[in-house]
Structure 1
Amino acid sequence: MPLLGSAAMLLSFDVEASAIEEHDRWHTHEHLPERLSIPGFRRGTRWLASAGGPRYMVLYEVESLATLTSAAYLERLNNPTPWTTRMMPHYMGMNRGLCSVVGSSGFGQGSAAALIRFTPQADQAALLTGWLLDEVLLAIPKATGLGSAHLLQGAQQAPMTNEQRIRGADLGVDSALIVTGYDSISVGSCVTSLCAESGLAARGARQVSAATYQWSYSLDSAEIRA
């Protein structure tokens, strides 16, 4: 599968306008290298909203859920660097999900992406997941302009840490579908179809929200080791 691991951490958030330039510099030159040096972290990717929001989507691909509660990771969260400590108060509306990768199809990663978040209705959750795995995720990589699709499900609560105390309590993630492609119009059309009444909602998804993004920056743990 294209995601590098069986779990992922999905973040979506805004940053105060006055701090955006410094945030992107910090996130590129300190934060991503720090996170990708933690055992079990495989790849981190930052995306910028092109329609909808929040402004940022960040996806960390990790070996397993255990990576996200490991002593090495929690040590970093509880001992933020001076630059991290300065940046945390500028965060707004953080959603942070420690997720299982329920399904992942296609290869590679396009320059355009969509994030669709939703909550399955309890009595239809199995049918909704089956439809997404057996039809949607298999069809997306074959469509013109698209490349890969990933179904994530929130699996555990993120523990409170010093980083989170500085920026305020994070909200979680229930379920999310990430679609990437090489053509932003095709990605947008896919989102429109899935978010129509005949799409996710008709199969038991509630609280459906969507935004589209453009690739900003990625870092792979192999680069850190090299």
Structure 2
Amino acid sequence: MPLLGKGMLLTFTDVAARDERDYNEWYNREHIDDRVNLPGFHRGRRYAAVSAKPKYLAVYECDTVAILGTTNYLKTLDHQTPWSQRVMARFTHFVRMTLRIHADQTHGVGAALATVRFVPDPHRRKALVQWLSEQALPKLIARPGVLGAAVGENDLEVVHAPLQDKSMDHPRADESEWVVLIEGSDVAAVGAAARSLFTQTRRRSFGIEAAPTIGTWRFLFGNQR
């Protein structure tokens, strides 16, 4: 089964150790379900870091990335439940990405996830998507222990919508960051696949100046409708 839509919301978060129990209960019992039941949302999943920072990642699949910048969606950010307000006030780290999915070669839901974050030259977007779709992702998902992969680009206009609406406070993104998500049954397998994705020569060909940031994660909880 491919992703349930062409848009994706990623949130990277952390809290102090003393707040983790309440944080995890809130995510599993309220927040994922609230988001999944919004118009245009279909599935939410959350992960804990094996080798990544911050400690927690949440992934939400929706019809299109544009949904994440609509007035109706932003109103939900202005009207959080008391539990949500309490937990979110305790975040020690928060990064929000709104992805436009460029390639989807996923297959079901795996127990492990690797993320590869990088900033390419925007003028080489078309060639990058073609290489990922036709060469890189098929090669990765043929590896034992790897089940599927997808790639998305952070939509700067959409991700800044909450800032413009003054409903959330988070750092402004100045560059269009991309994320490759590699899913599988084994953390070591998806991590090795992630590390093999970009050689230095390949990075130069797409104008990727800094080394990609790679994280590995284990699945915690998910829900869908």
State whether structure 2 residue 215 is matched by structure 1 residue 217: no
Distance 1:98 1:48, change over 3 A: same
* Aligned mates of 1:93, 1:174 — CA distance in 2: 18
**Which residue is equivalent to 2:83?**
83
Report if aligned partners of 1:49, 1:212 keep a CA contact under 8 Å in 2: yes
Distance 1:3 1:204, change over 3 A: same
SS state at 1:43 partner: strand
User: Which letter maps to 2:49?
Assistant: A
Gaps of 5+ in 1: none
Which of 165, 190, 194 aligns to 1:191? It is 194
Gaps of 5+ in 2: none
Moved more, 198-207 or 131-140: 198-207
Distance 1:73 1:121, change over 3 A: same
Distance 1:162 1:79, change over 3 A: farther
**Which residue is equivalent to 2:2?**
2
User: Which letter maps to 2:50?
Assistant: S
RMSD: 2.0
* Aligned mates of 1:158, 1:80 — CA distance in 2: 17
SS state at 1:53 partner: coil
**Which residue is equivalent to 1:45?**
45
SS state at 2:192 partner: helix
TM-score normalised by L of structure 1: 0.88
Distance 1:153 1:162, change over 3 A: same
> Cα distance, 1:14 vs. partner?
1.8
**Which residue is equivalent to 1:204?**
207
Residue pairs, 1:129-144, within 5 angstroms: 129-144=129-144
* Aligned mates of 1:66, 1:124 — CA distance in 2: 23
* Aligned mates of 1:186, 1:199 — CA distance in 2: 21
Moved more, 39-48 or 201-210: 201-210
Per-residue displacement from partner, 1:25-75 (whole Å, max 9, x unpaired)? Answer: 001111111111111110000011001222111110001123212343222
TM-score normalised by L of structure 2: 0.88
**Which residue is equivalent to 2:25?**
25
User: Which letter maps to 2:161?
Assistant: A
Distance 1:106 1:27, change over 3 A: closer
Residue pairs, 1:118-137, within 5 angstroms: 118-137=118-137
* Count of aligned pairs: 218
Residue pairs, 1:109-188, within 5 angstroms: 109-155=109-155, 156=158, 157-160=160-163, 164=168, 168-172=169-173, 174-188=177-191
